[in-house]
Amino acid sequence: MKTAEKLAAGWLLTLGFMFLTLSATAALEKFAPREVIILPKDEHDFLAPNATYEADNTAVSGLIFGVPTLTLGAWLALGLYRQSRHEKKALNQEVSDRLQSIFYKMLQENHGRVTVLGFAMQSQLPAANAKQFLDEKAKEFNANFKVNEEGAVSYHFDA
């Protein structure tokens, strides 16, 4: 359904833009200098078509169809953007809640001691992301760090 809405918004925006472009072109043609052609007079009077009347009709028609179409397309696109942003925010909150839950569970199980490797394995995060998360939590809770002989860092949170 979302794909159909994206296609509809795209088509409406394109169509509205085309109508408004047509309207603007007709309005500009109305004021463009014209070449005057003088025909020899003969006994039959010749009435030239009124070019300004056609340009006025085209300009007004373009506005009548273009403004609502463009407005509807913009409204649909804006709605899709807001919905996507809301879904992304909800997904980020869900991931954050899951990581918090895993973090607190590991603290309880390991008596306040957490390693980057252990947290990365439990949360299924890449090591860099796990380290960044643990660094943020260490600052937040004022944790201590211990480095073993191999250089692995373990975080010690006081309970």
> Which distant-in-sequence residues (6+ apart) come within 8 Å of 65 by Cβ?
16, 19
The answer to whether residues 75 and 2 belong to one domain is yes
Per residue in 51-97, pLDDT tens?
567 777 888 888 899 999 999 999 999 999 999 999 999 999 999 99
Q: What is the pTM of this model?
A: 0.61
- 76 and 152, same domain (yes or no): no
What domain range includes position 116?
110-159
Same domain membership, residue 74 and residue 30: yes
| Number of independent structural domains in the chain | 2
pLDDT band for 31, please (50, 70, 90 cuts). Answer: confident
Same-domain check for residues 117 and 83: no
Q: Are residues 69 and 4 in the same domain?
A: yes
Residues 57 and 133 in one domain: no
**CA 135 – CA 117 distance, rounded (Å):** 13
